Chain A
Amino acid sequence: MLCQKCNQREANVHITKIINGVKTELHLCDECARESNEANISIPITFGMPMSFQNILEGFMEMMGGIPHQLIEEISCPMCHMTFENFKQTGRFGCGNCYSAFNDNILPLMKRIHGNIQHTGKVPKRSGGILKVKRDIEKLKNELKMAVANEEYEKAARLRDEIKHLEERLNNKQDKE
């Protein structure tokens, strides 16, 4: 059935009105229905959670983010491609990597919610272990830079071996999983 208004597109909105016992029917396409006043039973809009957590969140972000607005809009998570803008609207991250992708921008929010920004609770044995090795490697790499800068080549060589050793261990650990 074609739309009764534009006579061009397929009618997929069907309105039946009964006024004082008189029944009238109207068949419209999406586009005409949206324009028409007949169909203000518009397409349902989901607002997400009934709680206005997102709104509050968005407020905080705008209050505290010292970064120009268009820059924030461009930030996105390289892994799940969630944009920071999207996070602000939904209040939900797309994946674990979002935390490091949005790091600087979510710190004020974390502080707001928890009053703290450093986890002190349980550490998983497995990912905690990998994490520790990663952090050790970072630390050694910094030391290596310093050593090279100070022309302490013997120390630098030792550090390089240590880093190599740790990186091998890290690869083994990750392969096992």
Chain B
Amino acid sequence: MSFFSKSNDSGIVLTSRIRFARNIDGMPFPQVLSDSASKKVIDDVYSALLNSSFSEAKNLKLINLKDMDRLNMMAMVERHVISRDIIENFQRAAIILDNDEKISIMLNEEDHIRLQVMYKGLMLKEAFEDANKIDDAIEENITYAFDAKFGYLTSCPTNVGTGMRASVMLHLPALTFTKNINNILNTVSQVGMTIRGLYGEGSNALGNIYQVSNQVALGFSEEEIINSLIAVINKIVDQEEKAREIMAQKRSIALEDDVYRSLGLLKFARSLDTNECLPLISQVRLGDEMGIIKEVDIKKLNELITLIQPATLQLLDKRELEPKDRDVVRARMVREYLK
């Protein structure tokens, strides 16, 4: 299992994702679909891909979620490969994955097809091109539910139109620290975008990690949506950099102290829960990017964000753990990782 793809790691922008929601014409949506029809959706989409002109299709594998244990499913949620919602329908759902989990196609989640392409760094256009190619490939053999007026028809009216959600994950410690983040939140929502925490809807921005994505899917072309999202992201990144500059100019011992204390805790604590751990990682990451400390590899910090998550942690430890024991294992793993 590979946890991370190899493309470029960026500082403020963590990942870029493009997701297309698609449904098969003439077939009820997954939540009202029978078992046999659900199976047909899975078989049809997978064989549509295999028999398409998409050259990398042979590297894709199909996994029925019912063949997977819960821990592995949860770990996939933590890696942003599948959504939490699909687990609720796990008996009838499946995913199609490539080796490095850059491409993931959820079948029978809320829609028949949820195609996702994920890249490290600000790579929305590249992700879109890939998603578009795979979308065309599926369509060679499957007729999508589409309406000239409403566009791609989806189960939820918020996705109709392009069916596309473009989202970027950002690490914004300086904007959070200088209390400028609320301004950003307000502005972003005024331009048809939305901003959420690390694990999407309803999750809080633990560890100063935010997801910015388009809210509106109907009435704009995919390119327009992506371009305006990139414009918004660039502005936010600018602001974050400015806030960091100001923090650096002040050269406050308080900041340096915070960074080193955080590193100290990560290196020596004997029990760490996720809620404590993420802000510490964020602080050290900030210190690293601002040149306050040099001894920690930023890649390792990025990896830690996922590795310390409950299910991933238990998978790495090869056993199920009670929350208390998890905290001990987490602390041990972080210590070893930062040695």
B155, A92: Cβ atoms closer than 8 Å:
yes
21 pairs from A and B in contact (CB 8 Å cutoff): A50-B202, A51-B201, A80-B29, A80-B32, A91-B156, A94-B28, A95-B28, A95-B32, A96-B147, A99-B153, A106-B157, A110-B157, A110-B160, A113-B216, A114-B216, A119-B147, A119-B148, A122-B132, A122-B162, A125-B139, A135-B148
Within 8 A of B (CB), among A83-123: 91-96, 99-100, 106, 109-110, 113-123
Residue in B27, B146, B154, B216 with the greatest tally of chain A CB atoms within 10 Å = B146
Q: Point out the residues of chain A lying under 8 angstroms from B148, CB to CB.
A: 119, 131, 135
Q: Point out the residues of chain B lying under 8 angstroms from A122, CB to CB.
A: 132, 135, 152, 162, 221-222
Chain B residues within an 8 Å CB radius of A99? 147, 150, 153, 160
Known: A50-B202, A99-B153, A110-B157. A118 touches B27 (CB 8 A): no
Chain B residues near A119 (CB, 8 Å)? Answer: 147-152, 161-162, 218-219
A114 close to B32 (CB less than 8 A): no
A3-15 Cβ-contact flags toward B at 8 Å (1 or 0):
0000000000000
Check B25–A96 contact: CB distance below 8 A: yes
CA distance A135 to B202 in the complex (A): 42
Instruction: Give the residue of B145, B146, B156, B201 whose beta carbon is less than 8 angstroms from that of A123.
Output: B146
Contact in complex: A124, B28 (CB < 8 Å): no
| CB–CB B158/A113 < 8 A | yes
Complex: A53 Cα to B146 Cα, angstroms:
24
B160 touches A127 (CB 8 A): no
Question: Counting CB contacts under 8 A, is A59 at the interface?
Answer: no
Q: Any chain A CB within 8 A of the CB of B164?
A: yes
Tell whether A69 is near chain B: CB-to-CB under 8 Å.
no
Closest to B151 in A: A119
Most B C-beta atoms less than 10 A away, residue of A109, A115, A131: A115
Spell out B's residues near A (CB within 8 Å).
23, 25-29, 31-32, 110, 132, 135-136, 139, 142-158, 160-162, 164, 192, 201-202, 216-222, 225
**A93, B147: Cα distance in complex, Å:** 14
Q: Which 5 A-B pairs have the closest CB atoms?
A: A116-B219, A119-B151, A96-B145, A114-B218, A96-B153
Whether, in the assembled complex, A126 has its beta carbon less than 8 Å from a beta carbon of chain B, the answer is yes
A82 part of interface (Cβ distance < 8 Å):
yes
Report yes or no: A127 in contact with B28, Cβ–Cβ below 8 A: no
**CB-defined contacts of B158 to chain A, threshold 8 Å:** 53, 113
What total of A-B pairs shows CB separation below 8 Å? 128
Contacts A79-B28, A119-B162, A131-B147 known; 7 new A-B pairs at CB < 8 A: A50-B202, A114-B218, A118-B219, A121-B162, A122-B152, A124-B146, A130-B143
A12 to chain B, nearest CB (A): 25
Bound form: Cα–Cα A99–B158 in Å: 13
Instruction: Assess the A92–B156 pair: CB atoms within 8 A.
Output: yes
Of B31, B146, B164, B218, the residue contacting A131 (CB under 8 A) is: B146
Beta-carbon contacts of A50-79 to B below 8 Å, as 1s and 0s? 110100010000000000000000000001
Contact check, B218 vs A117: say whether CB atoms are below 8 A apart: yes
Residues of A within 8 A of B139 (CB): 124-126
* Cβ proximity bits A121-147 to B, threshold 8 Å, 1 near / 0 not: 111111110110001000000000000
A151 interface residue (CB < 8 Å to B): no
Which of B110, B148, B157 has the most C-beta atoms of chain A within 10 angstroms of its own C-beta? B157
B291 shortest CB reach to chain A, Å:
41
Is residue A161 contacting chain B, with contact meaning CB distance below 8 A? no
B23 & A96 in contact (Cβ 8 Å cutoff): yes
The answer to whether B146 touches A114 (Cβ under 8 A) is: no
Specify which chain A residues have a CB less than 8 angstroms from the CB of B164 in the assembled complex.
121
**Cross-chain contact A95 with B29 (CB below 8 angstroms):** yes
List residues of chain A with CB within 8 A of the CB of B149.
Answer: 117-119
> Chain B's nearest CB lies how many Å from the CB of A87?
9
- B190 smallest CB distance to A (angstroms): 12
The reply to whether A120 and B220 form a contact with Cβ atoms under 8 Å apart is: yes
User: Distance (Å) between the CB of A115 and the closest chain B CB?
Assistant: 6
> Given A92-B110, A93-B153, A127-B25, A116 and B145 touching (CB < 8 A)?
no
Measured in the bound complex, the distance between the Cα atoms of B160 and A59 in whole Å is: 20
User: B219 is contacted by which of A114, A126, A130 (Cβ under 8 Å)?
Assistant: A114
Known: A99-B160, A114-B219. A92 touches B31 (CB 8 A): yes
Using CB atoms, name the residue of chain A closest to B164. Answer: A121
Cross-interface CB contact of A94 among B29, B135, B192, B216, cutoff 8 Å: B29
Interface residue from B26, B202, B218 paired with A116 (Cβ < 8 Å): B218
B150 touches A110 (CB 8 A): yes
For A127, give its contact among B29, B143, B157, B202 (CB under 8 Å).
B143
| A121: chain B residues within 8 A (beta carbon) | 151, 161-162, 164, 220-222, 225
A154 within 8 A of B: no
